[in-house]
Structures are given as structure tokens and as C-alpha cells.
Amino acid sequence: MEILNPSEFSRKIGLETLEKTLKKEHKSERLQIGIPREKSPDEHRVCVTPGGVSVLTANGHEVMIEKNAGIDANFTDQEYSEAGAQICTTASEVYKKSELILKVAPPDEEELEEMSSDQILISALHLGNAKDSFFKDMIRKGITGVGFEFIRLSDNSFPIVRMMHEITGSLSVQIAAHYLESKSAGQGIMMGGISGVPPATVVILGAGIIAEYAARTALGYGAQVFVMDNDLGRLRHLENALNRRIITAMANHQYLTSATKAADVIIGAAMVEGHRAPCWVTEPMVELMKSGSVIVDTVIDQGGCIATSRPTSHSNPVFQKFDVIHYCVPNIPSGVARTATYALNNVIVPFVLEIGDSGGFKEAVWSNHSLMTGTYVYKKHLTKKSLSQLFNIPYRDIEMLIASRI
């Protein structure tokens, strides 16, 4: 017979009586994923590449994609078919066969009518153009909505928004350089200048991701760069990240007035995630700008941060007011559709795989932080306070809806 000393006895009994939590196993679910072609003539992106489709189908999911959905991003139907997707001749066919819809732009009224109860929509919202009727229709039809603008990781970063903002920031300076040229009715100056001739002055409103990539690109051109924000911490971070090669200032009325007078280019990048953009530059400030100077309002899809901005398009991108060129295209990354599609694919495909591995949306929303924060309509309720205040629609907290099993 084995004799235990007291310490061994205590240790053995303690180990044996420890409670173990039972890990709940989720059975993965096969998803029917639909990718309709974007209806807007200026939207050339698609959510998933052929490579992404092959990953989804290899994991047991079905992918239905509308004919020519990827053609504007230079992805052919043959590539999608060879990757395992089913090519549908119409959008209606995609909507009928799918439970999860992946779009870049939010659906219009006709597309919403094609959708049915219990379908899940993952897309951008474009809050600057959103109307209360869109959310009311989503609620009425029982469609679950997940917005690019709300999908947030545990470190509070917004992965899809960030990818698009990196592209937008870099492109905004490239665009501004083009419109400064004489042939574009600009001042006829080079962004970087030359020996003996000063460079252009670029004023960037905001100190977020768009601003960072705009500043990096403008510095690469050789421009003089000012960055303005109301958050001193963000200005300090950006200043350090760029080795103090930029000039920073608080975005108060005095500094904004002085900066706009001196600016050859203004990049509007002031925004708050999930909200309309704040308007920092007033109409009188724009009126005092140099003739032939350029404004690129990169947050026009969130309402714009410059009073004279109004949405334009890739086919008709600019207008002039007070002899200042305004470029206010909401979907700037669509101009480099192939790059932007790869960026979307890199975030969305793992996200969709996780939904399937969790056993479907209802199971995933319990445990997936990104999915929970990304959802704005669930079980016929608006779930975002910011949207409720913006559109005067009642809302319910999504955690309460999940817990109540409604």
C-alpha cells in the first residue's frame, strides 16, 4: 500500500478536485456566399479575388459570383470559375442562392428588394450619403448588416477601413500633384519644386491613417507638409513616426485660417470612425485660398470636412469654386481597383472563414469581437447608438440582443 506524506496528499487531492471548464465545440457550417457585381459605374472593386474564392471553396463553402463582377479589377470569370466559384448570369440569381452577401458599396433600393429575411450583408455604409430609409428597410426585412466602417479588432483598429485609408492617403497626393499642373487648370507648380524654387505647401487636415500616408507620399515628392488636428497625442505620434519632417499645429480657427491661405494643396482627412466627418474649413477660408490651388476631400463619403465639398465621381472628378479645384470622389481606392481588391480580400476572407468555423453567424457573433462591433442591424433592430442619433431611429445594444436570444 502506498503511503503519502501530508504535502503529497494535499497536492494530489487538490489536483483531483480542481474543476475543469468544458470547452464548447462548434460544428463548422458550410456558407453560401454571394458576390454581386457593383452597380455604380465608378465602383470597380470586388470583395474577393479568385485566390480568395479558392480558399473559401477549399474550406467547404459555396461561392456564387455574378458574371463580370471582377472584370473592372482585371479578374476574369474564367479565373473565378477555375477557383471554384459558380458564375451567375444575374444579380437576382446571386441573391436567391446566397445567405451571406459580400459587397463593396451599400446596396441601393433595387438591390435591397432582392434581399430576403435572414440574409447577412457585409459591405461599406458610406455614411455621408446614407439615408434613414436604408436602415428602416434593413430592419423591416430582417436583414443583418455588418459595416466595413464598424469592424474593429480587439486592439481597437479598423482593419478594412485602415487598408482603404492607406490607399486613399497615398493616392490623394498623387491626385493633387496632377491637378496642380497647368493643363489641369492648376497653378502650374511642381509638388516638390526644384533647386532654387520652393516646393508646394501641402496642408493635411487630421492625423489618422489617411493623413499619415498622405504625409509620407507628400514628403516623398519633396513638398512642405503641415498636419493639423485637435488631438495633440495623434499629432505627437505622427511627428515622431515621420522623424519630425512635418510641421504640426492644432486645428483651431486661427491656425486653420493661416494654413489655408498659404496652402497650395489641402488634403481633407479629418474624421471619426463610425461618424460623419467634422467640418473644419469654412467657405470664407476657401474663398481666401490661392487661385489654382487644390482641395482633395478624402472623407467626402463621411460627409466631408470642408464646407465647399460635394461628392463627385471618377468620371467627373472635379469642380471649381472660388477658383479652387475640388476633388471629392467618395471611393478613391476604386481608382486602383486591383490593388484595393487584394486589400479587401486579405481582410474579408479570414473574417468569413471564422464565421463558418464558428458554426454560422448566430454562433460567431457571440464570440467574435470584430463581428459584434461590425454589426449595425441585427434581429430587426439598429444596434449602433451613433446611427440612432444620426438618423433618429431607436436602437438596442447588440450584447443585450444576443444575451436575450431574441
Of the candidates 317, 316, 261, 253, the residue with the CA atom closest to the CA atom of residue 293 = 261
Taking only the tens of pLDDT, the chain with its 406 residues reads 444 454 443 444 343 433 444 444 557 889 999 999 999 888 999 999 999 999 999 999 999 999 999 999 999 999 999 999 999 999 999 999 999 999 999 999 999 999 988 899 999 988 777 889 999 999 999 999 999 989 998 888 899 989 999 999 999 999 999 999 999 999 999 999 899 999 999 999 999 999 999 999 999 999 999 999 999 999 999 999 999 999 999 999 999 999 999 999 999 999 877 678 889 999 999 999 999 999 999 999 888 999 999 999 999 999 999 999 999 998 899 999 999 999 999 999 999 999 999 998 988 988 888 999 999 999 999 999 889 988 999 999 888 888 776 5
- Catalytic residue, chosen from 165, 264, 301, 326, is 301
Q: Nearest 5°: phi and psi at 145?
A: -115, 130
Q: Which domain holds residue 388?
A: 32-147+336-404
Are residues 51 and 143 located together in one domain of the fold? yes
Are residues 192 and 294 located together in one domain of the fold? yes
Q: Which domain-ending residue is among 299, 315, 330? A: 330
Of the candidates 324, 322, 275, the residue with the CA atom closest to the CA atom of residue 303 = 275
Q: Is residue 13 part of a domain?
A: no
Query: Which pLDDT score is estimated for 41?
Result: 81
Query: Which pLDDT score is estimated for 375?
Result: 94
Are residues 286 and 341 located together in one domain of the fold? no
Instruction: Give CA separation, 375 vs 9, 164, 366, 371, in Å.
Output: 52, 19, 12, 6
Instruction: Give CA separation, 160 vs 24, 98, 346, in Å.
Output: 30, 23, 9
Are residues 38 and 82 located together in one domain of the fold? yes
- Catalytic residue, chosen from 126, 229, 264, 297, is 126
DSSP 341-396: HHHHHHHHHHHHHHHHHTTSHHHHHHH-HHHHHHEEEETTEE--HHHHHHHT--B-
Query: Which pLDDT score is estimated for 156?
Result: 86
Query: Which pLDDT score is estimated for 383?
Result: 93
How far is 281 from 121, CA to CA, in rounded Å? 35
Query: Which pLDDT score is estimated for 406?
Result: 54
Question: Rounded to an integer, what is the distance from CA 214 to the centroid of its chain?
Answer: 17
Burial degree of 339 (CB within 10 A; 0-12, 13-18, 19+): middle
How far is 125 from 394, CA to CA, in rounded Å? 18
pTM equals 0.84
Q: Which domain-ending residue is among 310, 330, 350? A: 330
Are residues 191 and 72 located together in one domain of the fold? no
CATH code, 347: 3.40.50.720
Q: Is residue 158 part of a domain?
A: no
Query: Which pLDDT score is estimated for 369?
Result: 87
Q: Which domain-ending residue is among 272, 305, 330? A: 330
How far is 48 from 107, CA to CA, in rounded Å? 17
Confirm if 327 and 176 have CB atoms less than 8 A apart.
yes
Task: Scan for cell 519644386, then name that residue.
Answer: 193
Are residues 242 and 135 located together in one domain of the fold? no
Query: Which pLDDT score is estimated for 275?
Result: 74
- State yes or no: is 323 an active-site residue: no
Q: Could you tell me where the DSSP H helices lie in 68-158?
A: 77-82, 91-97, 109-114, 132-141
- State yes or no: is 301 an active-site residue: yes
User: Residues 151, 124, 360, 117: what is their CA dihedral angle, to the nearest 10 degrees?
Assistant: 140
Are residues 177 and 228 located together in one domain of the fold? yes
How far is 187 from 197, CA to CA, in rounded Å? 14
Of the candidates 191, 165, 169, the residue with the CA atom closest to the CA atom of residue 178 = 191
Q: Is residue 18 part of a domain?
A: no
Query: Which pLDDT score is estimated for 13?
Result: 39
Query: Which pLDDT score is estimated for 26?
Result: 55
Q: Is residue 94 part of a domain?
A: yes
